[in-house]
Amino acid sequence: MSTEAAAERPTRLDRRKERTRAALISAACEFLAHGRTAVSIQQITDAADVGFGSFYNHFDSKEALFEAAVESVLDVYVAFRDEVVAGYEDPAEVFAVSFRMTGRLQRQIPEMVRVLLNEGTRVLTRDKGLAPRAMHDIEAAISAGRFDIESARLGLMAAGGALLGLLQLLDAEPDLDAGEVADLMTARVLQGFGMSKEDADDLCSRDLPAQPDLSQF
């Protein structure tokens, strides 16, 4: 092994630091999923099973940790979403598939979805995650003549609010058929974007791609 390769290889200390950081983020996600943000750093480190002093080796504050936790969830979402829509060319169908599959996530990874719900509409103004992907899809669909709306930005807010409402509904009512409700909501959003009921229903009745293995993200 060359000297440069050896220097780039993570050391045992690097790996231990990464495990500690991951444990802190995982604990923060758990607190966020249950809406518990008024916790102490001691409670967080206890939940992560790491030493109190280790916290400040990774984060300046509890708020910085919670921010990193939300970003970690958005990173998973982006990887999931990008794999799901790969291969679709019609931007309206990309939007529909993304919306339909995101709704189904509530049943598949509810704890992650609850982190997003705790973030609320703030997630729609972030520069990563749901918002930029949805904005790109909406703008592309407008340019292609598939959506007829005056403002992509307003469309993003309308669709984002509908999506958060859908996820909240599914979280509150575990007996609902997530696939059926997600498809109905997607069709309504598409109609709000100027599509005919027939075209919207057609997009929302098509087979979805296989569910990616979420453990890989």
Under 8 Å between Cβ of 94 and 88: yes
pLDDT at 4 over 60: no
Helix 91-108 to helix 110-119 angle (10° resolution) is 110
Question: pTM value?
Answer: 0.86
For 99-129, write each residue's pLDDT tens digit.
999 999 999 999 999 999 999 999 999 988 8
Under 8 Å between Cβ of 146 and 191: no
pLDDT at 189 over 80: yes
Please give the Cα distance from 145 to 108 (Å, whole number).
34
For 134-147, write each residue's pLDDT tens digit.
999 999 999 999 99
pLDDT at 179 over 80: yes
Contacts of 201 (CB under 8 A, 6+ apart): 187
pLDDT given at position 213: 75
C-alpha atoms less than 13 angstroms from C-alpha of 161 in its C-beta half-sphere: 6
Percent of the chain with pLDDT over 70: 94
Please give the Cα distance from 39 to 64 (Å, whole number).
14
Arithmetic mean of pLDDT, 21-38: 94
DSSP the chain: --HHHHHHSPPHHHHHHHHHHHHHHHHHHHHHHTT--S--HHHHHHHHTS-GGGGGGT-SSHHHHHHHHHHHHHHHHHHHHHHHHTT---HHHHHHHHHHHHHHHHHHSHHHHHHHHHHGGGGGGSSSSHHHHHHHHHHHHHHTTS---S-HHHHHHHHHHHHHHHHHHHHH-TTS-HHHHHHHHHHHHHHHTT--HHHHHHHHHSPPPPPP-GGG-
What are the structural domains of the chain?
Answer: 11-59 (1.10.10), 71-206 (1.10.357.10)
CA nearest to 208, candidates 61, 98, 48: 98
